[in-house]
Each structure stands twice: as C-alpha cells, then as structure tokens.
Amino acid sequence: MTEPIKRPFLFRRHLNKLRWLSLGLVFAMLVVLPFLSVYQTYVAAHAYDLLPPSDKKLYDIMETLSSPFVDDPATDLDAIKGTTWSGTFFGYKISDPLAVVGQTAAGLTVYWPFVLSALVPVLLTLALGRFFCGWICPATFLYELNTNLAAWLRKAGFRLGHLHFDRRLKYLVLALGVVLSAVTGSVLVAAIYPPAIIGREIYYAVALGGFGAGAVFFVMTLLFDLLVAQRGFCRYLCPGGALYSLLGRYRPLRIRRVVEDCNDCVKCNAVCEFGLDPMRDDFGQECNNCSACIAVCPTDALVFTIHIKDLPDQGAGHLGRHYRKVHEAEALRQETG
Amino acid sequence: MMRRRGFLQQITVGGGVLAAGMLPYGLARLLAPPVKADPHTHLRPPGALEGDAAFVDACIGCGLCAEVCPPRCIRFYGREGGDRVNTPYIDPEVKACILCNKCMEVCPTEALTERPRDEIDMGIAQIDRAACYPWVDRGICGACVSICPLGDRAISFEMWNQYRPIVKQACVGCGLCVEVCPEPSLPIRVVERSQGTVVQHSI
C-alpha cells in the first residue's frame, strides 16, 4: 500500500472539471429552453384544462420550477432564448461568428445589427482562442463522450479507425461553405455545423414532435469520429472550428510547457482531443485552451501564459530520461576532461 | 517527364483534398433529397422580407422565432423543403399567427423585420363563396369575423346578410380565420395579395 502523493492545490489543474461543468450547463440549457417554450405556450393559451395528462405533468413541473423566479411566465421567461447559433441573453443578441459569415455570404449584403451581435464572441475568441470549441459547444459535449465510448470499445477489443488527415482541410470546408452559400443564396454552413444542428434538433424534438434531417447528419459525424478518425469532424472538417482557429491565431492566452518541470511522459499528447503535440510545444492556432493536458500532467509542467506566440520547441523535458542522460554525460565529461 | 508527373500528382492531391472538403456538403445534400415543398398553404412568419429568395438569404435557421412564439404556430421545413430547409413557416390550417410581433423582435437578422401590425403582409384571406356556409345559405356562422384581430377593417359581414363574410384590403393574412373555420373544405384561405379576396370560379 503506497501513500498517495500529496500535492498543493493548483487551481489550473481543476479547470478541466470546470470546463465539463460549463459544457454540461450549456447542454442542459439547450434541453430546458424548449421545455420552457412549450410551457409558455400553455400559459399564453390559458388552456390548462384542455391539455392531455402528459402535458399537464410537464406544465406542473415547469410551473413548480419557475414560479419562485417569475410572476408572469408568458413574458418573463423570455430572458434567455435560443441556442449557441443565435440567441438572446437578457435583451442582448449574441450570434455565432459563423452565422454572420454565412449569412453575409448568402445575402451578399452586410446587415450591421446582426454583424454586431457576433462582436462579443469575436472579441473573446481573439483573446482566448478557440475556447468555444472546448468550453461551450454543445456538440463537443457529445463528441467527448463519444471519445470516451471509443476508449471503452478499444479496451473491449474492438479495432476502431485512427486515420489522420490534413488539419488544414477544415479551412477548405469553410471556404467552400462560404462560396456555396453565396452561390445558392441559403446559409448552407448551418446545415453541417454541429452546434447549430444540436440546438435546432433538440428544439424540434421537444417542441415540434420529432428530429429533423440534421440529426441524421450529426449521427453520421459521430460514427465518423468513432470508426474513421478520432474526433475527426472537429479536427479536420468543422467550418466553425476553422473560423475560430483563424480568429484565435494570435490569442494572448495560451498554454505553455515549462521545460524544467517536464518529464516527457507524453500524457498530454495522448489526452489532447485535437491531436496536438503539447510535449513538443506545438499548440498552434488549433488549441482550444481546454486545459485537459494541464489536468493530466503529472508534474504540473503545463501552465497558462500571456503571450501571442508559442515558444519554439524547447527540446526534451529536464526531468525526462533523455535530457538527464545527455546532461549527466556532459557533466561527467567536464569532470574528467 | 518528372515535371509532368509532379504536376499530375499535384492535380490528383488537389482534387482529392477538394473532394474531401466537399464531403460535408455532399453528405448534407444526400441526406436532404430535393422534394418540392408545398408553398400553397404555407405562410412565412409576419414581417418576412419580400420575395422568398431574399428571406432564405437572410434566415440563418436559428429557430428563435418559434421559441418565442406564444401560440407555437411557427414550424420549420425539413428535408421536404429543399433549399428552404430549417427556415420557418406557418400553416394556418394547423395553428395561426396571433400578430404578437415577438418573432420580429427576436430575429437576429433582417429576415423578419419589425413593423407595425397594420403593415404586416403575409397575404390576404380569400373566401370561396361556393362553399362558405352562410354564402350557400347552409346556416349562420361568423367564426372568421369574430376571431379577426384587426376587426371590421379586415373582415366584416355583407351589408344585406348578417352572416356572409367579406374580406377587406386591410387584412394582413395572419390566418386566424383559416384556423377557426368550421367548414371542412376550408372555404377561407390565405393567398397572395394579387389573387384577390374572392375565389374566381371558372365555368
């Protein structure tokens, strides 16, 4: 029986849990909001007596949940509406930058009120990088669960696909999507962008009585991730991820490896959802600051820093076997020679 | 010789990358077979841009209009909509618009632009006088007149018969009359403004 290693509490090591909390909250919100919408309909219609028993139960539950907070559910519950694609948040309209890009391309006109609704997300992305992908995106919630499923299946002996493609493919998808949107005149990127699909389909399923066409596409992407390339859609194909990567290229907040503390254990590379190479200081514009590598690092060698560029490859970690071997040989040579 | 081979290789790789980039759109297209939607009874939500192409351009398919709609009358084209997929419509036979303006207020793009209630133009109600109960002397009704949110500026009774409804030009086409009409063949429906307020039967 070995004693567990006692380490001081480091906040950054627990950011990954906070991230899961954030992802879970966003997803839960996307599920609750359609139910709220249905409930508000009942309130507006004053037709409780006409409801079938199952709907009466829904009405009662939502009334119990919301009555401590609001007096007039029909209007007061409108404070938060929508999805991550586009929504209103206490009167402020917030839209996905990809929605703005797609809609501007489709209409070939710039509608400033809509463009400005993406201002806050764009500014945050400029500062924090592709954080939407790691911290908010409702599809990430399902994709990461899918990754865990893949790990279990591998453990159980299934051989799943592990292909690698060129990461720059998604910029082509983004460019094609914008061009095709402009040519066809409808916002095509919305049809293949997983967070938009998730928000929409949950609403369709809850309020309109069934999933639409997007659900099939999303299940296909899940299967693609599971059977062809791990986390493949986000890594290689997602147009929104491409846009966020471009915006976050010179983000000031990035993760850095402290080479003096690194022991070359490669856990960070193994845990990175986007297949990056933190152990060789290769984060790049794809990193979404999700902090999974920070959480897994056994020597706390990964930290957040304020800098607009990654460090060049710092070489082997000083606690690693390779560095020590070279270093000790060097020291020995100096002693003898 | 080598240069030609290199060029061919580049073309092949480029083509492959392009095909892979097209993959999501191809998949989305494959999964959405182009079946013609039936626009006959489908109305766009109030305040929609004029011309359906302009509306499809502007709509990002976020679904906010439906989420704030109190009667929950806004539905969405699915695979049957073709290019109109995920854009909103109202089927007044199922559930009609109550002209509350909430969808226009919440729409992030100019697809639904805010305007006063009288200036909304979703169409105009049209009555088939060969089927409507009072018009064929099969009883008294007046359901459409009593439900109309715009009152007798939009629909009222004929001068000499207290129950024969007549649509006027102030009608904005919300479709509430269609929703309440008790006659199964729906002698009242919402059509484009140019088609007039009375069904023209050709003999």
Interface of A with B in 104-163 (CB under 8 A): 106-108, 111, 113-114, 117
- Helix, strand, coil percentages in chain B from 3-state DSSP, rounded to 5: 35, 10, 50
Q: Which residues, in sequence order, are bridge partners of residue B189?
A: B126
* Residue B103: exposure state from Cβ atoms within 10 A (0-12, 13-18, ≥19): buried
Domains of chain B, by residue range, sit at 52-115, 123-195
Domains of chain A, by residue range, sit at 81-245, 252-337
Q: Are A191 and B63 in contact (CB under 8 A)?
A: no
- Beta-strand runs (E) in A17-79: none
Q: Are A244 and A125 in contact (CB under 8 A)?
A: yes
pLDDT at B33 > cutoff 70: no
Tokens in use for A98? 């990809």
Q: Are A279 and A245 in contact (CB under 8 A)?
A: no
Per-residue pLDDT of chain A (337 residues; tens, 9 = 90+): 677 777 788 888 999 999 999 999 999 999 999 999 999 888 888 888 888 888 899 899 988 988 888 888 888 888 889 999 999 998 899 999 999 999 999 999 999 999 999 999 999 999 999 999 999 999 999 999 999 999 999 999 998 988 898 889 999 999 999 999 999 888 989 989 999 999 999 999 998 878 877 898 999 999 999 999 999 999 999 999 999 999 999 999 999 999 999 999 999 999 999 999 999 999 989 999 999 999 999 999 999 999 999 999 998 989 988 888 888 888 888 888 6
Tokens in use for A206? 């809850």
Architecture of the domain made up of A252-337: 2-Layer Sandwich (3.30)
Length of chain A: 337
Return the sign of the alpha-carbon dihedral for residues B190, B195, B199, B203.
negative
Q: What's the pLDDT score for residue B35?
A: 58
Q: What's the pLDDT score for residue B40?
A: 61
Q: Report the C-alpha gap between A81 and A61 in whole angstroms.
A: 19
Among the listed residues B43, B170, B70, the one whose alpha carbon sits nearest the alpha carbon of residue B117? B170
Q: Phi-psi category of B2—alpha, beta or left, where left has phi over 0 and alpha has psi -120 to 50?
A: alpha
Asked if B52-115 and B123-195 have one fold, the answer is yes
- Tokens 């909430």 belong to B102
**Coil/strand/helix, residue A212:** coil
B74-114 confidence digits (pLDDT tens): 999 887 777 788 899 999 999 999 999 999 999 999 899 99
Q: What's the pLDDT score for residue B201?
A: 80
Q: Are B112 and B104 in contact (CB under 8 A)?
A: yes
Query: DSSP letter at B179?
Result: H
Q: Report the C-alpha gap between A229 and A248 in whole angstroms.
A: 24
| Beta carbons of A165 and B20 less than 8 Å apart | yes
Best residue of B31, B56, B57 to probe chain A, by most A CBs closer than 10 Å: B57
Return the sign of the alpha-carbon dihedral for residues A180, A181, A182, A185.
positive
Q: What's the pLDDT score for residue B36?
A: 58
For chain B, percent of residues with pLDDT exceeding 70: 94
pLDDT at B119 > cutoff 70: yes
Among the listed residues B75, B99, B102, the one whose alpha carbon sits nearest the alpha carbon of residue B89? B75
**Class of the CATH domain delimited by B52-115:** alpha beta
Q: Amino acid identity of B66?
A: A
pTM: 0.88
A58 and chain B in contact, CB less than 8 A: no
Closest CB to B61: pick one of A111, A173, A190.
Answer: A190
Q: Are A107 and A73 in contact (CB under 8 A)?
A: no
Helix and strand element counts for chain B (H, E):
6, 6
Q: Report the C-alpha gap between A5 and B159 in whole angstroms.
A: 93
| Beta carbons of A212 and B17 less than 8 Å apart | no
Q: Report the C-alpha gap between B198 and B180 in whole angstroms.
A: 18
Among the listed residues A82, A83, A63, A87, the one whose alpha carbon sits nearest the alpha carbon of residue A73? A63
Q: What's the pLDDT score for residue A55?
A: 85
Q: What's the pLDDT score for residue A134?
A: 93
Closest CB to B21: pick one of A107, A117, A176.
Answer: A176
Q: What's the pLDDT score for residue A88?
A: 92
pLDDT at B117 > cutoff 70: yes
Q: How many CA atoms lie within 13 A of A184 on its CB side?
A: 18
| Beta carbons of A95 and B72 less than 8 Å apart | no
Closest CB to A203: pick one of B56, B63, B109.
Answer: B63
- Tokens 């007798």 belong to B152
Closest CB to A40: pick one of B32, B70, B85.
Answer: B70
Return the sign of the alpha-carbon dihedral for residues A270, A275, A278, A280.
positive
- As a whole number of angstroms, the longest Cα–Cα distance in chain B is 94
**Class of the CATH domain delimited by B123-195:** alpha beta
Q: Report the C-alpha gap between A175 and A238 in whole angstroms.
A: 11
Query: DSSP letter at A321?
Result: H
How close A187 gets to chain B, by Cα (Å)? Answer: 6
For residue B17, list chain A residues with Cβ-Cβ distance below 8 A.
Answer: 166, 169, 172
Please give the backbone phi and psi of residue A197, each rounded to the nearest 5 degrees, phi first. -65, -45
Average of pLDDT values for B1-16?
83
Beta-carbon contacts of B57 under 8 Å, excluding residues fewer than 6 positions away, are A103, A106, A107, A108, A185, A186, B49
Q: What's the pLDDT score for residue B203?
A: 62
| Beta carbons of A180 and B20 less than 8 Å apart | no
Q: What's the pLDDT score for residue A237?
A: 93
